[in-house]
Chain A
Amino acid sequence: MNTRQQSKLIYSWYGKPLGSDRKLRTSHYKGILITSESSKTETCIQLGDFILVEGVNADQPYVAQLVDLYEDGAQHKHAVVQWFCRLEEIPQNQRKMLKRDISAQEVFFDQVLGYDTDIAAETIIKSIMVIPLHLGEELPVITLNKEQTFYVKQSWDGKCFKVLSPDTFSKLKEANKTRGVITNSSKASIPSDIFTPVKKKTESVVRSATKPKKIDMEIESKHSSSKSSLSKERHSQRMANNDIKTPTARKKLELNSPTRSKGRLLGYEVLGLLDDDCDATAPLEQSATKRKVKFTNDILGSPPKIPCSDDKSKSTTQSAEHHQSDIMRLSPYTKVNDFSDEDKNLQEKDDVPSLGGYQSSQSPVVTPRSRRRCVQKTSALIAEQISMLDQEDFLSDSDSSYSLSSEEKEDDDDDDVPCTPEKKTKSNRILSTPKSSRKSAVHTPAKTLRKTPLKGTPRTPRNATPEIPRRIQATQEPASVLEEARLRLHVSAIPESLPCREEEFQDIYNFVESKLIDGTGGCMYISGVPGTGKTATVHEVIRCLQQAAENDELPPFQFVEINGMKLTDPHQAYVQILEVLKIRGHSFFSLIFLSLSLQLDLLWTQKQNVMYNLFDWPTQRHSKLIILAIANTMDLPERIMMNRVASRLGLTRMSFQPYTYKQLQQIVSSRLKGVKAFEEDAVQLVSRKVAALSGDARRCLDICRRATEICEFARQKRAPEMVRMAHVTEAIDEMFSSPYVNAIRNASLHEQIFLKAILAEFRRAGVEEATVQQIYHHHVALCRMEGLQSPTVSETMAICSRLGACRLLLVEASSKYLHMRVRLNLSQDDVMYALREE
């Protein structure tokens, strides 16, 4: 027995291990003793007890229910808990949804699946009471033990509050009762008591399991012939037991389902994604009808582990194995397991939808170490999905049920907080950046995190959600016409329509639409200089298509956006695709909108295998992948792509021409519709200027925006006015004028003389390069002519390096001192022009 001393508290196991796995080196316990050295008191906390857990905030410890206790191979004590959350932990804006007052003692049954439920046992503070109440019930007035008693009325799943399901309710009640027994009884009597709650639970599990089993049977029979009774049973448990379970544990359960092979699973997944095989859809629809039943069971959670482990020796080993999945990475036989592990992880990813989007605790997509293999694997998986080679009916029961549960859940909370990846059954998902699961998904951080609490640092049990803090004060609405205009002119403002790109819009729309209707795949290559509306047009097309799909005019499809610039590595593209594909529904079409903004550098690898794969998939039989590739250069396929890649890209090309001045004018005026802020001529001037230079719409809008600012500055003296030619001219000058001339004119006298000396030396030598020594002689001569004291060499060097830092000059490394070579970074004419004006 391991005794770990932490300041004054000693944590030791209570009783003998319930079960242990030698291979995994984990042993489970039924209770933990906390001995305080100072006060010589001993507290015993058992499974099922409610506890306080150390958190970030010392006076707001987390409330939880103890689900499991075990010791891992490194002799660290772990506890698995079911969290309850306090009101303070719920985001401010969502508290409103409660519509009632909450006392400080009320907590919520936490069903936010993202939180890590595996904590270090040393973070447990003490045991408390949590009493379940019905929604209408008043909090009982108990004056004593206020600190130690909490009430739970509702559950919280990150989006909305729900009334506790009767099941959960009774379970919580039960747990309280047993606790009462334990606290009253003397220490000696504990062992005999412990088993009671467990047994009861098991019973209840079995009881509740029977109900949904029938339903499952139906589904299962539809699909597969190869199911072990074990999996059935486990599955039914999963369906039945809903409250205590945790995402981690659940994840682990799936990890060790040995009967299934990955590829098949995916094959099944594929059906739902890309295939119009009715086999796959049938169960889905069926599930929809069963939604009601499952909701009463509160399917959000997953089965409790304790009943499993007590129930069956088999499942004990399984649950033990769960912990292994973490340890495995450290242990010497990682190699062997890694691959299968990866498999499992991927498999999890497929199951993830069932977590309804907060897959945070899910594990690794890519670990840096095994990236190569993982990349191969991922790409293989995607390829498999798309080509649907595997249409065998190895449908895994649990998987189907998971997707079912996910679906109903998502159906349920159609319109909720945008932060959770949601999917409406019919609508399509736009995902430009991987969702939460990605970042927390990867193992590396998870592992490091796990280590921290053992070192004694308080750890947050919650996993991170990417969010920027909200602002404290509300934004001010535009007060004047100019401010309103500026808001509309901002590039980020989304116009109702995209003027001047109707033709291109129609072309792309027709292309995608025809492919969607035909049910075939295809590629389109879109090129154009920056700021010509490529991405905006494609997004607009997708928006329209999605609308059409929602109205049942088109078959539904999924949309993936990959921006090469937002990837750190070309192979990350696979991850993004998989990320979206795993959130699946009735959709059979995948539309990958590939913003190949940077394939030159980013999606470009030595063998171009990423691009090859992406462009290869649409050409495969049965595949329904449409790729819209966007890039800046028109001849990119010819220039850098290998022949085999270029040929797969096909010949559907489209190039966006830079905007003409009329188009730019139209864009600006369409944005300014109804706001009288600009003179007609001023807009025209801007458009003509920009069209002549680049035809970049962004630039045009920026200049207009800047002009409103200049106008505002000037206005302060007079009454409000419109942006006139003068303001626009000033803005244009500001943006396009060459900085060099101004920089030279504002340089110090000796710096100017130095530039003159450079010109003189260049003229003398006839070469546009000179050493400082040569220039110095000219400099001294020029100074004599002007009647100035000539500078020392050190000063000249300083001047030279100053001009070099501004990049008016290009200079060599300064170690060569006098022999440093100098060149001008602008033309001699510019320098002369700048100097002559003086």
Chain B
Amino acid sequence: MHLARNYFWVQKILRERFCHHFCAAGKLFGMEQQYRHLLELLRRTTVHGESNSALVIGPRGSGKTALLNHVLKDLREMTQVRENLLEVHLNGLLQTNDKVALKEITRQLQLENVVGDKVFGSFAENLAFLLEALRKGNRTSSCPILFVLDEFDLFVHHKNQSLLYNLFDISQSAQTPVTVIGLTCRQDILELLEKRVKSRFSHRQIYLMNSFDFKQYIKIFKNQLSLPAEFPDEPFAQKWNNNVQHLSEDKAVQDVLQKLFHHSKDLRSLHLLLMLAVSAVTVHHPLLTAADLQEASRQHSTDSKANIVHGLSVLEICLIIAMKHLNEVYDGEPFNFQMVYNEFQKFIQRKAHSMYNFEKPVVMKAFEHLLQLELVQPLERPSARAQREFLLLKLLLDSSQIMEALQLYPNCPTDVKQWAASSLSWL
């Protein structure tokens, strides 16, 4: 009973940690400098009323939002800052044009033309109103405003970039102090800005690069898996943490992590792996083992298309092999059903011992199933006039994938296997 509660807590704590990567509760890794830079920037905005603009650039999962959330959390705890900063959060995926963005800004700032929770009026009025409001403020008396533009790259595609122009223009003129922070994963973001917008942008770029090495990665792994000190059952937490320590020194675990590290350095994939592993922990399987991690890693890295091949019938496998041969013969040129059928017929007539010669409509049916599974893809949209047999198609599987899948395919007839290995073996 006691144990069961412990496991409930373990699952709860760890899962929350793995799922909400951007919440401010977790820790930041390898971005102390960026943290200091951003914190200092925002602190100056709030305390001195200095306008600024900055971009936080980093690949997906590198912790841009987490960094910002951390900074904001710490900022709000400062005594000089509390209640002294207005925040406006915009997301390029939600505010798809300037009109919507403007209304959202007005709403979040709770300006006086907000009725209830709605903003009425035309685009022109809203813009004029907002600009007027911002223009009236000055450095010393108005409350500083922080604009956070998530998915900044999408704002760049708005008409004339007028929202960005205006925000940056305010940050460069003696108006209400504003700080514009853009979050984006595109490295070429500056090239997308128009020249007059670019000129107004302060060119502060904070790069997040996942620039840690494997040793730090192991440390992160340990850190992410350890239970916090405030865990209710202390002996249990002790035991758990010791186990994690052991795991991190285990060769097998290190191999798993090394492989993941080589593939992608972002912490989200690590979280995903750990999530899979932690799910295996129950009362009967009390501690995480290397095998759990290996299994999780296997699941994590399986090939999705090859997985589909495992579930196909022998006829469908034969068709895929035929397509593979066609690809080899014609060097990746598109093919149609008739060609595949002919190739299949050749195999049936000369080589097959165990295969039943299916009718053409049956083969067609199997072929269409493959089409639906998107293992083959038509080059153009099927039109009503064109005959289905002659629709040009491409195979979406690589030959290596097919061979691998065949190795794992249960009860695959030997002659099919041989045929797959070489299209010429029947000679």
Contact = CB atoms under 8 A, between A and B. Distances in A.
A709 B263 contact: no
Contact of A751 (B169, B264, B374): B264
A749 B113 contact: no
Interface size of B as a range: 35 or more
B228 interface: no
A734 B54 CA distance: 12
A432 B200 CA distance: 18
B207 interface: yes
B328 to A, nearest CB: 13
Contact of B59 (A433, A467, A805): A805
A468 B145 contact: yes
Contacts of A789: 259
B401 A793 contact: yes
Interface in A690-723: 696, 698-699, 702-703, 705-706, 709, 713
Contacts of B176: 468
B301 A792 contact: yes
B112 A467 contact: yes
Counting from the closest, the 10 A-B pairs by CB-CB distance are: A464-B112, A530-B199, A466-B133, A746-B209, A792-B303, A464-B113, A439-B129, A466-B132, A749-B262, A445-B120
A188 interface: no
B162 A739 contact: no
A742 B166 CA distance: 31
Contacts of B84: 471-473
A442 interface: yes
Interface string B58-77: 01100000000000000000
Interface string A592-605: 00000110011000
Contacts of B137: 467-468
B263 A750 contact: yes
Interface of A: 366, 368, 418-419, 432-436, 438-440, 442, 444-445, 448-449, 452, 457, 459-460, 462-476, 478, 483, 486-487, 490-494, 529-531, 565-569, 572, 575, 597-598, 601-602, 632, 696, 698-699, 702-703, 705-706, 709, 713, 734-735, 739-740, 742-743, 746-751, 773, 776, 780, 788-789, 791-795, 798-799, 802, 805-808, 816-819, 825
B40 interface: yes
Given A438-B128, A452-B115, A806-B186, A780 B400 contact: yes
Contacts of B109: 468
A575 to B, nearest CB: 8
Contacts of B400: 780
B203 A702 contact: yes
B123 interface: yes
Nearest to A697: B199
B366 to A, nearest CB: 21
Interface stretch (B42-50, B275-283, B339-347): B42-50
Given A442-B122, A470-B143, A476 B48 contact: yes
B131 to A, nearest CB: 5
A215 B172 CA distance: 51
A445 B121 contact: yes
A817 B377 contact: yes
Given A734-B205, A739-B205, A746 B262 contact: no
Interface stretch (B317-325, B390-398, B406-414): B390-398
7 contacts: A449-B120, A569-B124, A742-B207, A750-B264, A792-B301, A799-B263, A825-B188
Given A740-B187, A808-B187, 17 more contacts: A434-B132, A436-B132, A452-B115, A469-B86, A470-B141, A472-B143, A473-B84, A478-B48, A492-B173, A493-B174, A602-B162, A743-B187, A750-B263, A789-B259, A806-B59, A807-B186, A816-B377
Interface string B103-118: 0000001011101100
Contacts, number: 262
B17 interface: no
Contacts of B204: 702, 706, 734-735
A565 B162 CA distance: 6
Given A439-B129, A471-B142, A569-B124, A743 B203 contact: no
Nearest to A567: B124
Nearest to A452: B115
B42 to A, nearest CB: 13
Contacts of A747: 265
A713 B44 CA distance: 14
A236 to B, nearest CB: 36
Contact of A368 (B116, B122, B259): B122
B426 to A, nearest CB: 26
Contact of B207 (A568, A739, A819): A739
Contacts of B326: none
Given A476-B48, A702-B202, A742-B207, A807 B187 contact: yes
Contacts of A806: 59, 185-187
Given A565-B165, A818-B397, A698 B48 contact: no
A366 B133 contact: no
B203 A748 contact: no
A530 B198 contact: yes
Contacts of A478: 48
B208 to A, nearest CB: 9
B313 to A, nearest CB: 22
Nearest to A530: B199
A805 B136 contact: no
B405 to A, nearest CB: 11
Nearest to B211: A746
A568 B123 contact: yes
Contacts of B396: 817-819
Nearest to A705: B202
A791 B130 CA distance: 52
B131 A566 contact: yes
Given A567-B124, A748-B264, A793-B303, A776 B113 contact: no
B273 to A, nearest CB: 13
A184 to B, nearest CB: 41
A566 B199 contact: no
Contacts of A530: 195-196, 198-200
A476 B140 CA distance: 9
